Amino acid sequence: MPRELGGKLQRRTLLVLSSATILGGLGFGASASVGALLLAEVSGQDAISGLAAAMSNAGAAAAGIPLARIAARKGRRTAVVLGSSVAMLGALVAIFGAAIWQWWVLALGIGILGVAAAVQLLSRFAATDLALPQNRARDLSLVVWSITVGAVVGPNLMVPGSVVGGWLGVPPLAGVFVFTFFAQLAAVLVNYFGLRPDPLLTARELQAAAVAARPADARETTEEASASRRAKVLTIVIIGTAQAIMVGLMAMTPLHLKHHGGSDALVGFTLSLHIAGMYALSPIFGILAGRIGRLRVIIGGWVILLVAIYFAYLAGEQSLYVQVAMTLVGVGWSAVTVAGAALLTDLTSLAERPKWQGRADTLMSASGAAAGVLAGIVFAMSDFSILALVALAVLALGAIASMYPKLRVARAH
């Protein structure tokens, strides 16, 4: 396939992935905003509210490697369509759980719906399949950015969702999951009809000759392979650390605001700011990662997260401080994950890329799941400021991992 045709296909692939991600982000953003509040309402226990973020991330973690294996065998299109279809089932289970007032069924539905997050993670890597090495971070970030539209609007669907919930005779907040179901359905249709030909399978065709012709003296030695593996593992740790910080603080923000007299509108607006911070600036970080280097952008992300944790520690009853903190948490997370995903892609060959990307998505989501559970426990036993200190300790782990020398000289495959 000519390179010119590959470039046209890449532009078309980005458009399809971005469109589907907007739809998926709309539904998932809406459900993520109400999950903690609805679980607390149905269960009657604040500590269980952290299970919403935990189950969502656990669902994404459970789906990460299986979806990556499906992508490796049958292509990205099959993987994302299947994942979004499973997420539709999760929305139905969540509605049913709320209707019968069984918090564990609701939590199960949220967990199944978490597969939608795995689809979003897979989609951002799909954007790099046909991209030139110097454009990988930029193209990846464009798909990440497309989540902004739906994800920012999503939390503000609590009010219309309450109306839908009333029509269905379920707890008002559960009505949001109706929007989630139809948004995931639309994403399925866009990816099913739009991702033809498949970007990963096409990339293999385009690069097969180059990979086969690689000279023997260019192959990695055992020592180099070991160092490369450590670099990949540490890059995954970096991505997972940023996810744990983000989820841990975000999961308890609705309850913290509610405990200090915050309204549903305030909670929705604050989460919209947070989600906007996560995605709106991602193209800037993608461009910067291509120009000044992946690692420098990652380090910048740690600095932003440090400032965010400082505001979270001081927040108390000041909702403005909470909003500043959560916005910066989103921005810092974006810098680390966009540059980190591009770095991991640089460190892996095309043949092994789906495997390592699946591992990254799984650990990223598992980190979020663990953080959601621990955040609920810490918040129930203390307050938001102590939770911020725990996030600071987690940040130190990511910063240390970023010091590995091999990460500074990653070679694009």
Indicate the DSSP class of residue 221: P
Do both 239 and 153 map to the same domain? no
d(CA 347, CA 341): 10
Question: Which of 160, 176, 209 is the last residue in one of the domains?
Answer: 209
Looking at the domain assignment, is residue 327 inside a domain? Answer: yes
Do both 363 and 315 map to the same domain? yes
Tokens of 232: 């990949």
Among 388, 191, 403, 376, CA closest to 295: 403
Question: Which of 162, 178, 209 is the last residue in one of the domains?
Answer: 209
Looking at the domain assignment, is residue 216 inside a domain? Answer: no
- Tens digits of per-residue pLDDT, 123-156? 988 998 888 888 888 999 999 888 777 666 766 6
Do both 196 and 236 map to the same domain? no
**Amino acid letter, 315:** A
- Domain span at residue 389 reads 227-412
CATH number of the domain at 204, please.
1.20.1250.20
User: Does residue 317 carry a pLDDT above 50?
Assistant: yes
DSSP 54-105: HHHHHHHHHHHHHHHHHHHHH-HHHHHHHHHHHHHHHHHHHHHHHHTT-HHH
Q: Do residues 174 and 44 make contact, with C-beta atoms less than 8 angstroms apart? A: no
What's the total number of domains in the chain? 2
Tell me which of 28-32, 241-245, 320-324, 379-383 is least confident. Answer: 28-32
User: Does residue 340 carry a pLDDT above 60?
Assistant: yes
Looking at the domain assignment, is residue 85 inside a domain? Answer: yes
Q: Which residue has the higher pLDDT, 349 or 130?
A: 130
Do both 82 and 21 map to the same domain? yes
Q: How confident is the model at residue 180 (pLDDT cuts 50, 70, 90)?
A: confident
Residue that has been written with the tokens 């993987």 in this structure: 79
Looking at the domain assignment, is residue 9 inside a domain? Answer: yes
Looking at the domain assignment, is residue 132 inside a domain? Answer: yes
Tell me which of 94-103, 133-142, 166-175 is least confident. Answer: 166-175
Q: Which residue has the higher pLDDT, 413 or 53?
A: 53
Do both 170 and 278 map to the same domain? no
d(CA 180, CA 192): 18
Looking at the domain assignment, is residue 219 inside a domain? Answer: no
Do both 42 and 156 map to the same domain? yes
132: left (phi over 0), alpha (psi -120 to 50) or beta: beta
Do both 197 and 234 map to the same domain? no
Q: Do residues 40 and 46 make contact, with C-beta atoms less than 8 angstroms apart? A: yes
Q: How confident is the model at residue 76 (pLDDT cuts 50, 70, 90)?
A: very high
User: Does residue 93 carry a pLDDT above 70?
Assistant: yes
Q: Do residues 238 and 300 make contact, with C-beta atoms less than 8 angstroms apart? A: no
The whole-number pLDDT of residue 217 equals: 46
- Taking the model in full, what pTM does it have? 0.79
User: Does residue 389 carry a pLDDT above 60?
Assistant: yes
- Tens digits of per-residue pLDDT, 228-285? 788 899 999 999 999 999 988 988 887 778 777 667 778 778 887 888 888 888 999 9
d(CA 202, CA 135): 17
Do both 296 and 190 map to the same domain? no
The whole-number pLDDT of residue 403 equals: 87
Looking at the domain assignment, is residue 217 inside a domain? Answer: no
Tokens of 47: 């500590």
Do both 159 and 248 map to the same domain? no
In whole numbers, what is the pLDDT of the chain averaged over residues? 84
Do both 82 and 45 map to the same domain? yes
Mean pLDDT throughout 331-335? Answer: 95
Question: Which of 176, 209, 242 is the last residue in one of the domains?
Answer: 209
HSE-CB for 175 with a 13 A CA cutoff: 18
Do both 7 and 100 map to the same domain? yes
Do both 198 and 232 map to the same domain? no
User: Does residue 57 carry a pLDDT above 80?
Assistant: no
Looking at the domain assignment, is residue 220 inside a domain? Answer: no
d(CA 404, CA 231): 7
Sign of the torsion angle spanned by Cα atoms 268, 270, 275, 276: positive
